[in-house]
Structure 1
Amino acid sequence: MFKRYVSIIASVLLAVTILLPTTSSVALANSDVQQSKISTQAANYMVDVEVEGLSGVILKEAIQVTEGQNALDALKKALTSQNVKYTVQESDFGAYVTSINNEEAGTLGGWDGWNYTVNGQAPSVGAAAYVVKDTDVVKFFYGRWAAISTTTEVIEHSENPAITVNLIGDTFTPAALEPANWTVGQSNLTISTVTQNTDQQITIQFNGKVDRENFSLVASEETVVGKAADALQITVVASQASVPEAIEKVTNYILSKSVSSEWTAVGLAKAGVAVPESYTDIFEQNVQQQIVENSGRLKITDAERLTIAAAAIGKDPKNINGIDLLDKIYNSIDIKNVDTMTRQGTNGLIFALVALDTKNYEVPKDARWNREKIVEALLSYQRADGAWSLATSNTGAASYDMTAMALIGLAPYNEQPAVKKAVEKAVTFLSESQGPTGGFNETFVGGISSEATSQVIIGLTANNIDPQGEQFTKNGINLIDHLLSFQTENGGFKHTMTGSTDGMATEQAIQGLVAFDLFTKGEGRLYDFSVISTQLEVSSHSTLQGIVNNSLLNVQKNKNEAWSSIFIENTEIIEGYYIVQAGEQGTKKETLIPEGTKKVFIVDNDRPYRYFDAKVVEPTHTFTVTFNKEIQDSKANLDKIYVEDITGKRVPVTVKANGLEVTVTPEANYMKGQLYSLVVIDPVSIEGKTLKQAARKLFIIK
């Protein structure tokens, strides 16, 4: 400890005279004046020396010094007279007292150490440069620099929140646990309790409802051992209205960027949003670079992650341009005599299960690994406290992320007694580890992170456990509340409260939110792409019906009171909505419903239209139709421009002509989640000429 802090303290305490205006560092400003020349005729003085350490007064001694001696000389003489051990370090900045009575400088982080005053004032020079005078009172004491901080942001309008307060460079005193020693900057908030986590961390529980404005928290001098800490500023963040709105915000943010991550593609697909076509090329490039070109250094988690993404975007992982990703998993190779399945620790085992179960892929009987063997190995690495670590060991350091991921992998096997017991232990571990602000504090990742919360949400929902339940609610804050508090104004998510929008945090947050959304709707696990939900809603005209068989859709039309299959002429997927246009023309009578589809609309293509791509719009959206000739402004003519719903019924709209343009505005809001058609049928120009080509634009309401 001594060697670790000597170089830091020697230089740092030059600044301590600024930080501590009533004290002076026990350092020599110039080494050339460390030794005072003592005249044989010099007078003797009496000097009072006091030494106070962390635990109290070490000595008070009146000693005799000789004229010309300095404060450090007086200290040494007093300590020697009482047989108190001390050490003094010589440095480029002079002599520095590094320990007295075994209390070493720097033990609280490097901003603490031995300081001194003379007659209650801090000299501007080090102790070895201050020449004492008769009757001086020289006091040496262990001084500290105190600063309080928190990673907690408080949600506006939240009731009875709690924050964690960290102290740097000092330790809290028992007085810190008294609410009266803290001043809160919001009049409607009071402190009910203060609990101590460590000597440098406490949790403050408030009573009351939080206002929108940021506020301060001030600690009295009695709360810390050394110098009083400056006020702590608490940030108040806007509340999040709902998970669906948060999903929409993060989805829009992701789509505004380039989608290049497998995990992002999975999140989008499960959110019912079409993964951009550009990602398909990126996916195939990743297979080429990470699997083919990297075969000698293969990471099995690459094969597993790409398998999960393949399921999400509707590709066969057994044949990605001739590459069998599944075989790379269950027939894992050895690299340097280490099986790649376990080369990356428990990660490989966990995501092998996740990948194999995305579509319940078959594992050959002669494969190196099967599901039973993987489950058995993973269970063997569970720690006694219920957690998992990254290491293939049951004694490795507990990890919240790895524990949550293990829950994800084991979810399909929860009916097995051994698995059920392991899951229960892991859930208990996570519940007991959840902090007072709703998250998980892990030094390795920089403190309380959104990613840990996202993973726990995915793991719990995979096992049908509510992240908003009592077991995962601390001080009124549940896991969903906690995750939403990390969302930024642009829709992305932060890694920690003090950070900014982060790519990894965002891709894990969309998965966590979507996993919870699926859980609340009873629509299964995040990584399960095995079957399209049997509750899939299909909307159509009364003369049309859709027959869903697993993932295939067949469209039938009622003609002369009899149903018969008709052709599928066009399909389009937009933000999770699948639009199928059926008619008399075409070559196929069934279509594969894309993964992640949340609703199917079947539209009767009853005449040849000039078709414009569908769009998702607001309930009050106004369309502008532009013609190449000025339109005739008459009711009869404008009635040829109209809106109809999925059943073919016209919707009341206001149609106005203005030269080449016509605007179409709903008289009442369109219904959310419904499809409408904007139709233009043979209007005429002011010259009376028919604009013959019929047109249709389909649109869905947000």
Structure 2
Amino acid sequence: MMQNRKRILSLVLVLALMLSLFPATGMGKAYAQDAKAVKVGVRIESFDRNIIPYTEMEVDNFDLDEYGYGEVKAEDGPVVLHAVVKAIESVGKDAKDKKVLDAGKGDFITTIDGVSMGSTGTGMDGWMYYVNDEMPPVGINEYSLKDNDRITVVFVENYNAAYTWFDKTYVKSGTGDEIALTLNGLSYDMDEQKMKTSPISDASILVNGKELVLDGKKVRTDKDGKAVFKLDELGEYDISAQKFDEDGKVRIISRPYCKVQIEGSSKGPVPVKKHVSLDKTLNKTKAYYKNNKTELSSWWDMVAVYSSGEDIKKAPWKLPEWKSEDIKSDAAAGSYAGYILGLMAKGEDPYNVWSRDLVGELVEKQKDNGAFDKISGHIWAMIALDAAGADYDKAGAIDYLIKQQKNDGGYAWGEDNTPEAAGDPDMTGMALVALSNHREVKGVEGTIKKALDYLKETQLPTGGFASWGNDNANSVATVISGLVAVGEDVLSDAWIKDSNTMLDALARFMLDDGAFSYVLDPKKSNGMATSQAFIALNDLKNGKTVWNSLGITKSVPKGDKDLDKDQDKVEDKKTEKVNEDINTDANQKDKTGTKSPKTGDKGIYLYMLLAVMSAAILMYPIYGKKRKMSTR
């Protein structure tokens, strides 16, 4: 009996040893979480109303199982379904509620915001999706997204309806000036047996959901799909169109979309208005957090409240209980940066958390060309590492960042674009924050100067900025933080456009309770817009950006004689920790170059070891029976 037990124990140990040599990759789900986060635009239209206006967002490959959907079928994520889920959640709706979003098994949308197949009673209605105004031949869980994709999800009353879009998605004009839009449609040509694009004639133009009537006549598109009209009052307008069948009952086109901004007569200046008060605006948003958002669920919120001088470790603030498994070792650089910045905001050491060195792990992600990831992840990695006082290849990182600047002086999302690509104010603002820490490096000042020229050139008459054609709160907030980082006086005459400051522009998006909306229509509370706006307001008030202040201990007054000594001790501790991690990591490599799993990966090995032991126990009666038979 004792000999049998020893043999079984030996079998278990041998199998466990073999399993420990297996790499962790490929053993999890069929998707790579946090891989290839992309920036896309999403718009969701019902047959008679807009559900989600065109909204830009960064989408990663998060776990869809939580929403009741199967594995992603595309080789590379994220997919369209990821973007739809995130768009639904961006307006405060619960994407796990099947009445809000039902995508079947993940490949076909049946319901969004209560609008479902059969809602119109035609027997031919349903949800369709398009990417870059084309119909993909695969399901929403199979289409891999790439940077700058434009996703449109529409509900049609008849599957034969034409999918339509205007030739412009954003128009800036003066009162009384002519506005010209051309309506194009994509539909199936029965004669040619293929999808075909053609102009849509005799479609009624809608302004904020109502048919536009000028001089007693409805404004319609002509035979070439063109409609010309004027708007006399200042403001922003949502432009769409509709066209019915011969009976006037069923819409035969999907709803297109264009944002029109009327800024005053082109023959005269925009009227001067009183500037917004920074203190009143800031206090109102601070009150919003204290009255409505004491649970800081994201690192953005934690940094935002921290930037206002609050100690978020104390009441009334409630912080997320992050765990090691929340940030896997193969996570993207941008995800690492978020955790590092959030940890510092709540007073924890990213060099030593959950028995891990997140700073050292992020440093290891830097490539030979100096990059940590695509431009967004690269910028955030630099900001986080600089805030933590990390030792990394700064020269390589700066050189890579400088080379990503576009010809117009701005920075654009993604890296698979040409120098001729148009810059984006959000990316340019964050690039300024990253560059501000390295102004002594050759080439940085020139890069900053070109970025400032780009922002002055693209600033809107409202004082704000538009990203992907949308004047929005996030863009102006990000630019404010970037300008503060490089020492610009944001509220000075140099940055006033048509009598409007950037603070004036940002305040337009504030709601009555102090929260912020992403866009003006619909004007709804948006978590990301609110946190970014709060950071920008505090940056203006403090005269420095929080992104360059997170690593400073607030409890030590300026001028303290021991400040430099204390800081040196912190830096020495960080350096020792990084060197210790590098040496340990090198010793853990096996002969094939495979690293032993880090803390975040140990769970799978324990699970596998338990499985082997269970199998051995089950095999024991069989082994014993065979042994008895062999001794007869």
When normalised by structure 1's length, the TM-score is 0.43
Q: Which structure has more helix as a fraction of its residues? A: 2
Query: Going by fraction, where is strand more abundant, 1 or 2?
Result: 1
Which of the pair has more CA radius of gyration?
Answer: 1
